[in-house]
Chains A and B, each alone.
Chain A
């Protein structure tokens, strides 16, 4: 059995008295799509930021590919990538200029070929000379995903990957990510509020509440465990705290 791609142990982040993430421990295996779910303020973005090394934990550790992100993050950064609708790319650069800059930062070979490939895959070819700032929110999301795929990451962290996309574009992105995982055995960790999306493409779900993991399993397992019809209902149960947890599992009030 291969070692996990992501190993998180006792991860905690506090800001003064406020606890953003509390004693989080989990691991993620290669070739899976894992959803990191939770309501607003549950600790998803904080956790993603610590996984990426953008934020230093108060305590605990993050190992990606067996490498400690606190001390050796530069060894693994070429192997990972990230996109978020809340982090922009330079507005005044064109789509292809942005991708060219990031391709060089990631040390991509055959840059122009790779950019063409990504533009085609994400239906952005007609926009290659458009300035990023002039694109619609959905187009920007697709460009950010193109940027995130430039180096064919072995670990891809996505925050709301289909936010602002119309149903057709969102479906294309989901299919693209699923195909990518199958083709390359890459590991994908995504934060999403789209529960239908999670049910459709995720192999595993980590549900956060108040900075800690409350439940984990496949979407089917969680739906069965909570005796609900969909992940959306499971999500609402957890965030509204209509469910409490015991050692035997969730118990409805």
Chain B
């Protein structure tokens, strides 16, 4: 079988089988980038919603800045918040919608008879979600500068901390939604569009957590987004970055991300038990 081995990279079998393969993760990223490159509606869709949201909340901010003493203290807090909230939404969609592409394409069986590991698929989904979120929210953030003289980049390095925490929270949600669709079929697909809105009221995007009822506050502090948006207001109103809020959000995200990966892998094993990898998409 020497000719067969000549065709394949040496060491691609057992020696690398214990860990993640950069080449396979790159292959999957390439697959999703090809898809994005070949479909201009998909690219427009990435930036469309964040931009519409930014325009809407920019106008609302302008109005309230002149009519609200609270907002007058920190013009741009609403527009900044809405853009950061879109990081959660885009991050989640970036994982789940890209995973759905495989289901729509009825491609899962081909992928999983290849040496691709589920953890490598997850890694590629997260990387592509990062790219999609940067494109989507980035366009809105850049347009906000000439339109409203507001630059979210003025937040400085805390922006990276906020962005990454919200993105990871979106990833965790995206993986759980993907797992549910893998388990229950495309009928659960609409979860991708609605699940994020269920937690929005508790996330304190536009208002402090302290205005929520006590029971809701208890729940809200389990969400990384609540800590991020409190942190955002801390910077914009008090010019103070709270490391405590940052660490708590990060810790929660580590727990949720690992949990969501566990859920995805568990559902993947159930899918193998029930033959869903061959049937899904039909």
Assembled-state Cα–Cα distance A100/B8 (Å): 14
* A127 interface hit (Cβ, 8 Å): no
Contacts A55-B278, A92-B39 known; A184 to B3 CB distance under 8 Å?
Answer: yes
A87's contact among B12, B23, B27, B110, by CB below 8 Å, is which?
A: B110
* A97 interface hit (Cβ, 8 Å): yes
Verify B115–A106 contact, CB threshold 8 A.
yes
Q: How large is the interface on B (under 10, 10 to 19, 20 to 34, 35 or more residues)?
A: 35 or more
Main secondary structure of the interface of A (DSSP, over half): mixed
**Mind listing 18 A-B residue pairs with CB under 8 Å?**
A49-B275, A55-B277, A78-B12, A89-B107, A89-B110, A90-B105, A92-B38, A97-B34, A100-B30, A104-B23, A106-B8, A106-B12, A107-B8, A131-B38, A150-B7, A151-B4, A151-B8, A183-B3
Quote the shortest CB–CB distance from B177 to chain A (angstroms). Answer: 21
Verify A101–B17 contact, CB threshold 8 A.
no
Assembled-state Cα–Cα distance A1/B273 (Å): 35
Verify A152–B8 contact, CB threshold 8 A.
yes
The digit string for B95-123, where 1 denotes a CB below 8 A from any CB of A, is: 00000011001110111111111000000
Assembled-state Cα–Cα distance A106/B24 (Å): 8
Residue of B nearest to A55 (CB): B275
Assembled-state Cα–Cα distance A54/B113 (Å): 7
- Residues of chain B contacted by A183 (CB below 8 angstroms): 3
B residues neighboring A (CB under 8 Å):
1, 3-4, 6-9, 12-14, 17, 21, 23-24, 26-28, 30-31, 34-35, 38-39, 101-102, 105-107, 109-117, 269, 272-275, 277-278
Main secondary structure of the interface of B (DSSP, over half): helix
Verify B110–A54 contact, CB threshold 8 A.
no
* A88 interface hit (Cβ, 8 Å): yes
Verify B113–A56 contact, CB threshold 8 A.
no
- Residues of chain B contacted by A228 (CB below 8 angstroms): none
Assembled-state Cα–Cα distance A49/B280 (Å): 14
Verify B113–A78 contact, CB threshold 8 A.
no
Residue of A nearest to B114 (CB): A105
The digit string for A147-161, where 1 denotes a CB below 8 A from any CB of B, is: 100111110000000
Residue of B nearest to A57 (CB): B273
Residue of A nearest to B17 (CB): A74
